[in-house]
């Protein structure tokens, strides 16, 4: 028996709120279908690849007021990719709906992610197991993994396992790549006329799996509130000690939604947004200059402290860094077979690398601190690429800002002190106990996934809309996975993938930051959000992210 804190024990008893029509009972929902759909781009290519599930209509559930008969069925569930708060509640919602529909139904959890269904590793989920994980963080109930489901051999093995367990539906809980794989599996299962449906659920703390039908990916709410609490604490400390600049890197490699949301919750002095950097083609030097100028301006006012937020994927948004890294990838592929290079000292390696780069990239490489150069030359990933995710961007910027400030001091343009602290907040938010919003939202997503299964649908993503309203007004339904797909180059080949939602620079969320950026830079406008609240007024406990509120206000205004 695991040890539990008083809060853990109390959360096990929390009954999540269900979305609209679902609250009337799983056997009383009425399915309505809209018009046929098309993919977000590359329609001909996507349709050709998904002949059996392409063009399906958007699904919506209402209430019939009468019970519907249901047959006994077994369902399999997979957790795929990185953890996100609320995953256990998706499974709980799926389990409760399945058992409410027919007590003979069974739910099998595949262990260790997608590989579990291929290797036949699973466990049957029971009341006792489920009741130990309700409203808790983490994915430890069945574990997760990053195996991709995309080959004929994998699909055939998965089918054998499903036949052995009499499984007629698979629910995959994951992000954009995981749900792309869910769509591939759904297409294969339908093409082979297996009778097995595949439904996805939108997960990622990064917030980049969203569109008109998916208002928010689960986990984003809890993760950003967790980071905001930590940063609020640091801001209070900075405002008390008044002697440190805190450079804080936040998770979110492909998009800067986390950084932007946390900035709006805490109001730091500097917030870098990767999409803005790319759109303005900003150089590393320009970013460093901007940061140093803010530090100097605050020092001029006697404020030798501050907070800077940095998205994890910043490096990959800087155009000149992209070019340099691409050249490094090519050069290192050759040099790894060069005995002289392999036996050279670190400084000699830098010299050899520089000779392989064009003038602009060589200049940029030589401007980097030695520790960052070493990180760029570390062992490459399985695809032969520089492991950009391992670059300590926050420390890179600290070193470069310090160097710039020393230059400014010699010129009489900086009169203060610069003492630094570096932080990276990522894993702290991935398995946090879910907020009430995520607990409710995830439970509804899982419950709704079974409603899609019960309705005989496949190739859909569970969708809960109208989420800034009370749960009783949430709208349950499903969006065809092909509707969100386009073609992108992955590892040298064009592949169908769900299109990532990046920060929109003309959208209301970024505009809110842009409007306040100058004021927040020079003044101490810090907000201290505090810990996630689970008990108390709904206005405190059930509040959604600033991002969701601003985006939905815009959506409602345009209707």
* Helix (H), strand (E) at residue 288: helix 284-300
Q: Please write the tens of the pLDDT for every residue from 402-443.
A: 999 999 999 999 999 999 999 999 999 999 999 999 999 999
Average of per-residue pLDDT values in the chain: 94
Backbone phi, psi, residue 143, to 5°: 80, 165
Domain annotation covers residue 2: no
320 and 444 both lie in a single domain = no
CA distances, 232 to each of 263, 272, 380 (Å): 10, 18, 36
Domain annotation covers residue 380: yes
Domain containing 405: what range? 221-430+509-553
Backbone phi, psi, residue 308, to 5°: -125, 130
- CATH number at 201 reads 3.40.50.450
Active site residues: 206
DSSP of 58-90, one letter per residue?
Answer: PEEEEE-SS-------EEEEEEBSS--TTHHHH
Average pLDDT over residues 247-263: 96
> For residue 490, what pLDDT is reported?
76
Strands 475-480 and 59-63: antiparallel
Backbone phi, psi, residue 189, to 5°: -65, -35
419 and 344 both lie in a single domain = yes
* φ/ψ bin of 512: left (φ > 0), alpha (ψ from -120 to 50), beta (otherwise): alpha
Alpha carbons 320 and 328: distance in angstroms, whole number: 12
Alpha carbons 290 and 308: distance in angstroms, whole number: 12
Residue 395 burial (CB count, 10 A): 18
Q: Are 72 and 102 in contact (CB under 8 A)?
A: yes
> For residue 554, what pLDDT is reported?
75
Count structural domains, the chain: 2
User: Between 336 and 420, whose confidence is greater?
Assistant: 420
Q: Which spans in 301-392 are helix H?
A: 314-317, 319-335, 339-342, 346-356, 359-367, 370-376
449 and 419 both lie in a single domain = no
Lowest-confidence range among 120-134, 374-388, 491-505?
Answer: 374-388
Q: What is the band of 236 on the pLDDT scale with cuts at 50, 70, 90? A: very high
Q: Say if residue 150's pLDDT is above 70.
A: yes
> For residue 337, what pLDDT is reported?
84
Structural tokens at position 297: 């301006």
Q: Are 197 and 186 in contact (CB under 8 A)?
A: yes
Alpha carbons 378 and 279: distance in angstroms, whole number: 29
468 and 526 both lie in a single domain = no
345 and 282 both lie in a single domain = yes
pTM: 0.95
Collect all residues with Cβ–Cβ distance below 8 Å to 509 and sequence separation of at least 6.
260, 261, 264, 503, 546, 547, 550, 551
Domain annotation covers residue 483: yes
Alpha carbons 400 and 286: distance in angstroms, whole number: 11
238 and 381 both lie in a single domain = yes
Q: Say if residue 127's pLDDT is above 90.
A: yes
Average pLDDT over residues 194-216: 96
Burial of 88 (0-12, 13-18, 19+ CB in 10 A): buried
Domain annotation covers residue 504: no
> For residue 177, what pLDDT is reported?
92
Q: What's the maximum distance between 2 C-alpha atoms anywhere in the chain?
A: 81
Collect all residues with Cβ–Cβ distance below 8 Å to 530 and sequence separation of at least 6.
229, 232
Q: Say if residue 1's pLDDT is above 60.
A: no
Alpha carbons 201 and 222: distance in angstroms, whole number: 17
Average pLDDT over residues 322-331: 88
Q: Say if residue 28's pLDDT is above 90.
A: no
Alpha carbons 137 and 435: distance in angstroms, whole number: 10
396 and 545 both lie in a single domain = yes
331 and 460 both lie in a single domain = no
Collect all residues with Cβ–Cβ distance below 8 Å to 199 and sequence separation of at least 6.
169, 170, 171, 172, 182, 449, 452, 453, 457, 458, 460, 461, 462, 478
Domain annotation covers residue 475: yes
Instruction: Select, from the ranges 299-308, 317-326, 329-338, the one with the highest average predicted confidence (pLDDT).
Output: 299-308
386 and 468 both lie in a single domain = no
308 and 407 both lie in a single domain = yes
Q: Which of 180, 194, 119 is nearest to 148 (CA)?
A: 180
Q: Which of 172, 245, 252 is nearest to 395 (CA)?
A: 245
410 and 470 both lie in a single domain = no
Domain annotation covers residue 4: no
90 and 130 both lie in a single domain = yes
Domain annotation covers residue 496: no
Alpha carbons 76 and 477: distance in angstroms, whole number: 20
Domain annotation covers residue 1: no
Backbone phi, psi, residue 535, to 5°: -130, 140
Q: Say if residue 152's pLDDT is above 50.
A: yes
> For residue 66, what pLDDT is reported?
66
- CATH number at 391 reads 3.40.50.460
Q: What is the band of 359 on the pLDDT scale with cuts at 50, 70, 90? A: very high
Domain end: 458, 490, 522, which one?
490
Backbone phi, psi, residue 309, to 5°: -105, 135
Q: Are 272 and 334 in contact (CB under 8 A)?
A: no
> For residue 559, what pLDDT is reported?
43
Q: Give the rounded percent of residues in the chain with a pLDDT score beyond 70.
A: 97
Sheet with 167-174, side-by-side order of all strands: 29-33, 59-63, 475-480, 460-465, 197-202, 167-174, 74-79, 106-110, 122-125
């Amino acid at each position: 028996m695991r040890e539990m804190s008083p809060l853990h024990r109390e959360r096990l008893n929390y009954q999540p709120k269900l979305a609209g029509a679902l609250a009337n009972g799983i056997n009383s929902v009425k399915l309505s279908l809209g018009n046929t759909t098309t993919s977000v781009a590359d329609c001909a290519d996507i349709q050709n690849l998904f002949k059996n599930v392409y063009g399906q209509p958007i699904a919506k559930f209402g209430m019939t007021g009468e019970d519907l008969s249901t047959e006994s069925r077994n369902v399999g569930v997979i957790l795929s990719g990185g953890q996100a708060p609320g995953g256990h509640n998706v499974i709980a919602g799926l389990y409760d709906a399945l058992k409410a529909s027919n007590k003979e139904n069974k739910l099998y959890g595949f262990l260790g992610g997608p590989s579990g269904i291929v290797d036949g590793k699973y466990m049957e989920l029971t009341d006792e197991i489920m009741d130990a994980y309700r409203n808790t963080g983490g994915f430890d109930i069945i574990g997760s993994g990053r195996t991709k489901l995309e080959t004929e051999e994998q699909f055939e093995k998965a089918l054998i396992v499903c036949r052995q367990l009499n499984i007629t539906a698979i629910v995959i809980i994951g992000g954009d790549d995981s749900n792309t794989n869910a769509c591939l599996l759904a297409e294969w299962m339908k093409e082979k006329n297996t009778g097995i449906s595949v439904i996805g659920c939108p997960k990622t703390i990064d917030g980049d799996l969203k569109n008109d039908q998916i208002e928010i990916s689960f986990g984003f709410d809890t993760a950003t509130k967790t980071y905001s609490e930590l940063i609020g604490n640091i801001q209070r400390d900075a405002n008390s000690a008044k002697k440190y600049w805190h450079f804080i890197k936040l998770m979110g490699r492909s998009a800067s939604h986390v950084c932007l949301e946390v900035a709006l919750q805490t109001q730091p002095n500097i917030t870098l947004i990767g999409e803005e950097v790319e759109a303005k083609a900003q150089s590393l030097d320009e970013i460093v200059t901007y940061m140093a100028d803010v530090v100097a301006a605050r020092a001029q006012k006697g404020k030798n402290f501050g907070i800077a937020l940095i998205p994890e994927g910043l490096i990959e948004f800087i155009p000149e860094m992209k070019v340099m890294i691409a050249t490094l990838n090519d050069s290192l592929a050759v040099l790894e077979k060069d005995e002289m290079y392999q036996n050279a000292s670190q400084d000699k390696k830098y010299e050899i690398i520089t000779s392989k780069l064009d003038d602009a990239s060589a200049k940029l490489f030589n401007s980097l601190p030695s520790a960052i150069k070493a990180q760029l030359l570390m062992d490459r990933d399985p695809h032969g690429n520089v492991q950009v995710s391992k670059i300590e961007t926050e420390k890179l910027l600290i070193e470069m800002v310090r160097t710039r400030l020393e230059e400014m001091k010699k010129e009489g343009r900086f009169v203060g002190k610069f003492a630094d602290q570096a932080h990276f907040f990522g894993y702290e938010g991935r398995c946090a106990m879910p907020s009430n919003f995520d607990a409710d939202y995830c439970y509804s997503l899982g419950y709704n996934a079974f409603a899609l299964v019960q309705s005989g649908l496949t190739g859909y993503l569970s969708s809960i809309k109208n989420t800034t309203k009370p749960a009783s007004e949430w709208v349950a339904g499903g969006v065809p996975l092909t509707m969100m797909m386009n073609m992108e180059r992955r590892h040298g080949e064009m592949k169908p993938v769900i299109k990532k939602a990046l920060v929109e620079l003309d959208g209301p969320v970024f505009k809110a930051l842009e409007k306040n950026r100058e004021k927040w830079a020079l003044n101490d406008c810090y907000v201290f959000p505090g810990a996630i609240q689970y008990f108390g007024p709904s206005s405190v406990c059930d509040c959604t992210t600033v991002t969701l509120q601003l985006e939905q206000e815009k959506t409602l205004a345009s209707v």
